[in-house]
Amino acid sequence: MPSRVESQPIRRILIVGGGTAGWITAGVLAARFPERGEQGLTITLVEARGLPPIGVGEGTWPTIRATLQTIGVSETDFLSECDASFKQGIQFAGWVDGSVADTYYHRFTLPAGYEERNLAPYWLEGARQAGFAASLCFQTSLCDNARAPKLITTPQFAGLANYAYHLDAGKFAPFLQRHCTQKLGVSHVYDEIVQVHSAESGDISHLTMKSGDELTADLYIDCSGFSALLIGKHFGVPFVAQRDCLFIDRAWAVQVPHALDEAPIASVTKATALTSGWVWDIGLSSRRGVGYVFSSEHVSDDAALEELQRYVAATGDLSPALSYRRININSGYRQEYWRRNCVAVGLSAGFLEPLEASAIVMIELSANPIANLLPGCCDGMSRAAQLFNETFRYRWEHIVDFLKLHYVLTQRTDSRFWMDNKRLESIPQSLREGLEYWSHHCPWHEYFAHREEVFSAASYQYILYGTGFATTMPRALLNEHDRAKAREKMHETARHARELVASLPTNRELLSKVRRYGLQKI
């Protein structure tokens, strides 16, 4: 029989750390379990005052729309208060051969016909001049023309094309804080941890705070960022570094004002390859967020800064007054994410270079399983931890594979960074096996084991065929019915793209209307 302590109900959740990770987690849990008081859950978030955001989490994945809608946020308020803009994918420039024409896209809208058939093999059969994304996804034309993914009459969180957001990370967390505390009943405490205490079982029993208070909970959620106060410093869960695979370990970041108040706002994250890494370029309503992530083994900090400054000057800003900030990046993740009565979310669980906006989506993907797996009593904690750890170990490993995929497909030989990325020993075995398989079979659902993949087969298709990867499928595995279906879908894609480009406003036009009129509520 379980002891009385083991079978006690879970009623108190303490989130350690604010920021995007802490407040998204608080919002998801509070919205899922709205009952407070003796019969409900007490959800408290404690954080130290004045901690600045890291500043590289300004891109999101389309899942964020469902998350914001679930916790009851108004899309109009979010767009206005977080200086947000619409994001419809990622544009990669210079990643293949470095030429002026070297551009491809990872779109958020699925390839045409994706829900029914794998049409990629039939695109590969054709001339392919238009490119994979342009041939099978109308969204490519929207982004080429800086169009928004919806109309002002489209209800909030709905779209005519799939979309996510760019946002000001410094405004997003305070926005979530106000919503969670004022609308969802989350308790908020400013304080700092002095000591973490353990029970005889090994669980965390309570925290001693700088104020002298003691905070006690049944479940502790570590959102303390890179410091990893609970999962790392207290429990000592090892960090699994990925430096031998993902070479990026530094970033220079800068905020660049628009040259004109009405300057166009790109509806993609622009990822431009440089000699020893790549630049992110994110358009918000009031400014651009720009940064160069690079490998310190391949370029010095000073030389990297000069490269970024040249990029900024070439893209429209010549101001000498810009303030550049250097950020250290340690790509990797914890060996475990849920240990006893503590689960890590956000940077305390892991961080990889911000190539595909995986940081915020991993927060979302963590918060929802915590809510789904939360046991009624403490004696269910170990099984919940086991299931959570198995799922997230798979996810982190596969994100590493997907990020590395972008590098191994390069043909660049102009710098040691790009050549080193193709070294066999730097490529995970699982990715090597995937590339071998995909040389004779286009990526499809069955290759991926989990129902909720971070990056689906469609994402792999966009990257592989955007870079010119060669898949040679035997003709015996193709058929005339699907070949005709592919031709039909490509014609539909071109027609639909023309219609939407003609009818949709630009990104900036729609954002201006949203601030003036607001979006319709569903």
Residue span of the structural domain in which 350 resides: 12-82+165-241+331-398
Residue 348, CA distances (Å) to 207, 218, 231 in order: 18, 19, 7
| Total number of domains in the chain | 1
Model pLDDT, residue 263: 87
Higher-pLDDT residue of 373, 238: 238
pLDDT at 446 (0 to 100): 83
> CA geometry: angle at 440 spanning 104 and 460, to 5°?
35
Closest listed residue to residue 489, CA positions, set 133, 135, 88 = 135
Please name the residues in contact with 139: beta carbons below 8 A apart, sequence gap of 6 or more.
Answer: 88, 89, 107, 108, 109, 133, 149, 161, 162
Q: What is the 3-state secondary structure (H, E, C) of 124-169?
A: HHCCCCCCHHHHHCCHHHHHHCCECCCCCCCCCCCCCCCCEEECCH
- Per-residue pLDDT at 55 exceeds 60: no
Average pLDDT of 376-403? 90
DSSP 439: T
Residue 184 in this model has a pLDDT that exceeds 60: yes
Residue 366 CB neighbours (<10 A)? 27
What is residue 38's predicted lDDT score, i.e. its pLDDT?
Answer: 76
Q: What is the CATH number of the domain that holds 61?
A: 3.50.50.60
DSSP bridge partners of 339: 342
Look at residue 56 and tell me whether its pLDDT is greater than 70: no
- What's the pLDDT tens digit per position in 227-271? 999 999 999 999 999 999 999 999 999 999 988 778 899 999 999
Q: Of the given ranges (275-279, 318-322, 327-331), which has the lowest mean pLDDT?
A: 318-322
- What is the reported pLDDT for 5? 45
What is the Cβ-side half-sphere exposure of residue 229, based on CA atoms within 13 angstroms? Answer: 22
Whether residue 35 is predicted with pLDDT greater than 90 in this model: the reply is no
Residue 452's CB is within 10 A of a number of other CB atoms, namely 11
Q: Is residue 494 part of a domain?
A: no
Average pLDDT, the chain: 92
| Residue 215 pLDDT exceeds 70 | yes
Would 312 be classed as within a structural domain?
no
Q: Report phi then psi at 291, rounded to 5.
A: -160, 150
Residue 4 reports pLDDT greater than 60: no
**Residue 304: inside a domain, yes or no?**
no
CA atoms within 13 A on the CB side of 225: 15
**Taking the model in full, what pTM does it have?**
0.94
pLDDT surpassing 60 at residue 46: yes
Q: Does residue 67 fall inside a structural domain?
A: yes
The distance from CA 96 to its chain's CA centroid, rounded to whole angstroms, is: 23
Q: Which residue has the higher pLDDT, 511 or 128?
A: 511
Name the pLDDT band for 520 (thresholds 50, 70, 90): confident
Q: Please compute the mean of the pLDDT values over residues 106-114 and round it to a whole number.
A: 95
- What per-residue confidence (pLDDT) applies to 3? 42
Residue 415 in domain: no
Residue type at 6? Answer: E
Size of the chain, expressed as the number of residues it contains: 522
Residue 68 has pLDDT above 50, yes or no: yes
pLDDT at 1: 36
Q: How confident is residue 330, by pLDDT bands cut at 50, 70 and 90?
A: very high
For residue 258, tell me if it sits in a domain. Answer: no
| Residue 318 confidence class, pLDDT cut points 50, 70, 90 | low
pLDDT digits (tens, 9 = 90+) for 286-306: 899 999 999 999 999 999 999
Name the nearest CA neighbour of 219 among 351, 378, 113. 378
Residue 316 belongs to a domain: no
Strand order in the sheet with 204-209: 193-198, 204-209, 214-215
On whether residue 220 sits in a domain, the answer given is yes
Tell me the average pLDDT across 480-486. 93
Angle at 271 between CA 269 and CA 277, to 5 degrees: 150
The pLDDT of residue 36 is above 90: no
HEC assignment per residue over 79-128: HHHCCCEEECEEEEECCCCCCCCCEEEEECCCCCCCCCCCCHHHHHHCCC
